[in-house]
């Protein structure tokens, strides 16, 4: 009796289908300009990389997986740019064209065209975000670079023999942007506000009410320059000559000055601005959601009323000064 023996060879074709890089890895540093002109949708496209080591690929008998390089983007999505006038926090999104780098299938390891990788286009889109959202704890310094990797499909088992293991093989683009931007800051324009005259009788009868203070000199407003910001802006008032909430008269001891009569000021015409140790509370100037890249002007509308703060009341000129201080978060 004769016996027939069949030998069945099981071959993992997928294990024999992959690419590797002769020197293991290669890095290219891109310094393309990033123009931050808008609060949202700042786009930069980077391409024309200068990798020189060709990938070497094989797809045995056209039976295995694709000879593919995937494109891996950073896990970090938040970055910070340390500008002179304040940090800018950014949220990044990434895409590429093509989504993967595909190489022809060859039965033996063959050098492939590195130009396919060099000509890939990476699109990075940046939105300015508010620091108040807590991103500062997880934001990476953008000047340390953003890494994008072209990684070959992993080889397994027999396909990795004879020096063809592609573990930790990659082409890495490190994008260190050259950033062009203006940081938004706000300043207050000095000016003079005038209140209409009242009589001593009105003061004695406590009939003085808040009146709209009209500018007679300068532009009583905040000017926020062109630029971007990750912050909201606030302001407060300060005075070195105050009694309670009353701004005292600078001329009370001078010829022609009113005696013991000053001002209370208000933002809404009904409630006095409260002072503590010469400083008021903080008030909203420009919220983050309202920040635009253009120059922004915010008028300061104030109401005032005459208030008696002593017993030596006499008619005359009343003038008080208050300092307006802009704040950053």
Model confidence over 9-22: pLDDT tens digits? 444 444 467 899 98
Asked whether residue 234 is assigned to any structural domain, the reply reads yes
Q: Do residues 94 and 121 share a domain?
A: yes
How many domains does the structure of the chain reveal?
2
Q: Do residues 19 and 132 share a domain?
A: yes
Res 78: pLDDT:
97
Length, in residues, of the chain: 329
Asked whether residue 4 is assigned to any structural domain, the reply reads no
Model confidence over 25-73: pLDDT tens digits? 999 999 999 999 999 999 999 999 999 999 999 886 665 556 899 999 9
Q: Do residues 166 and 257 share a domain?
A: no
Q: Do residues 158 and 71 share a domain?
A: yes
In angstroms, the CA 229 to CA 295 distance is: 12
- The boundaries of the domain holding residue 304 are 186-328
Asked whether residue 3 is assigned to any structural domain, the reply reads no
CATH of the domain at 276: 2.60.40.1090
Q: Are 239 and 311 in contact (CB under 8 A)?
A: no
Q: Do residues 149 and 272 share a domain?
A: no
In angstroms, the CA 125 to CA 136 distance is: 19
In angstroms, the CA 15 to CA 62 distance is: 12
Asked whether residue 69 is assigned to any structural domain, the reply reads yes
Asked whether residue 2 is assigned to any structural domain, the reply reads no
Q: Do residues 22 and 165 share a domain?
A: yes
Domain closes at, from 131, 151, 180: 180
Res 207: pLDDT:
60
Q: Do residues 87 and 175 share a domain?
A: yes
**pTM given for the model:** 0.84
Res 3: pLDDT:
52
Res 159: pLDDT:
56
Q: Do residues 173 and 230 share a domain?
A: no
Q: Do residues 197 and 322 share a domain?
A: yes
**% residues pLDDT > 90 (the chain):** 69
Q: Do residues 197 and 58 share a domain?
A: no
Domain closes at, from 180, 207, 234: 180
Q: Do residues 202 and 323 share a domain?
A: yes
Residues of the chain with pLDDT under 70: 1-16, 60-66, 157-163, 206-207
In angstroms, the CA 210 to CA 213 distance is: 9
Asked whether residue 1 is assigned to any structural domain, the reply reads no
Asked whether residue 199 is assigned to any structural domain, the reply reads yes
Res 9: pLDDT:
45
Q: What is the torsional sign of CA 275, 278, 282, 285?
A: positive
Asked whether residue 266 is assigned to any structural domain, the reply reads yes
Percentages of the chain per state (helix, strand, coil), in multiples of 5: 10, 45, 45
With H, G, I as helix, E, B as strand and everything else as coil, classify residue 306.
strand
Q: Do residues 114 and 215 share a domain?
A: no
Domain closes at, from 180, 207, 237: 180
């Amino acid at each position: 009796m004769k016996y027939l023996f069949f030998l069945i060879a099981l071959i993992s074709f997928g294990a024999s289908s992959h690419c590797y890089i002769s020197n293991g890895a290669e890095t290219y540093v891109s310094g393309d300009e990033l123009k931050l002109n808008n609060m949202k949708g700042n786009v930069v496209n980077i391409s024309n990389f200068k990798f020189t080591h060709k990938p070497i690929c094989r797809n045995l008998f056209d039976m295995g997986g694709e000879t593919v390089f995937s494109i891996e983007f950073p896990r970090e999505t938040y970055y910070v740019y340390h500008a002179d006038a304040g940090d800018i926090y950014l949220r990044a999104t990434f895409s590429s064209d093509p989504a993967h780098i595909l190489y022809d299938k060859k039965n033996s390891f063959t050098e492939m065209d590195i130009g396919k990788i060099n000509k890939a286009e990476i699109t990075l889109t940046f939105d300015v975000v508010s620091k108040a959202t807590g991103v500062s704890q997880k934001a990476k310094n953008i000047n340390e670079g953003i890494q994008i990797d072209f990684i070959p499909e992993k080889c397994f088992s027999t396909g990795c023999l004879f020096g063809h293991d592609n573990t930790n093989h990659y082409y890495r683009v490190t994008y260190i942007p050259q950033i062009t931007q203006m940081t938004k800051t706000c300043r207050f324009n000095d000016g003079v506000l005038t209140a209409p005259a009242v009589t001593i009788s009105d003061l004695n009868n406590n009939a003085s009410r808040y009146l709209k203070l009209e500018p007679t000199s300068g532009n009583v407003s905040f000017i926020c320059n062109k630029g971007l910001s990750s912050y909201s802006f606030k302001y407060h008032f300060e005075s070195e000559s105050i009694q309670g909430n009353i701004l005292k008269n600078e001329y009370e001891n001078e010829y022609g000055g009113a005696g013991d009569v000053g001002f209370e000021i208000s933002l809404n015409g009904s409630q006095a601005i409260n002072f503590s140790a010469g400083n008021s509370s903080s008030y909203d100037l420009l919220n983050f959601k309202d920040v635009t890249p253009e120059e922004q002007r915010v008028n300061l509308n104030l109401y005032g009323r005459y208030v008696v703060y002593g017993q030596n009341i006499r008619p005359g000129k009343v003038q008080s000064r208050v300092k307006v201080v802009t704040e950053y978060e």
